[in-house]
Amino acid sequence: MEIQKPSRRRRHHPEAFKQAVIEACCEPGASVAGIALANGVNANQVRRWMRERGIEP
């Protein structure tokens, strides 16, 4: 008998969600890590979204 592990699926976030998170990160004094945590996203993912849009994290 072989036990199968549940497959991990990648989450896909809507563009509007990504843009809202990025805008929050661009506020003066904002913490990318804190905003990411509050939105249930990894901070590295948010930084990648920012780089893809030409915004320096």
pLDDT (tens digit per residue) in 17-38: 999 999 999 999 999 999 999 9
Band of pLDDT at residue 11, cut at 50, 70 and 90: confident
Query: Around Cβ 55, how many Cβ atoms within 10 Å?
Result: 13
pLDDT at 1: 67
Q: Write down the pLDDT at residue 2.
A: 77
Is residue 25 a contact partner of residue 32, using CB atoms and an 8 Å limit? Answer: yes
Euclidean distance between CA atoms 18 and 4, whole angstroms: 33
Any residues with CB less than 8 A from the CB of 39 and at least 6 apart, and which? 17, 21
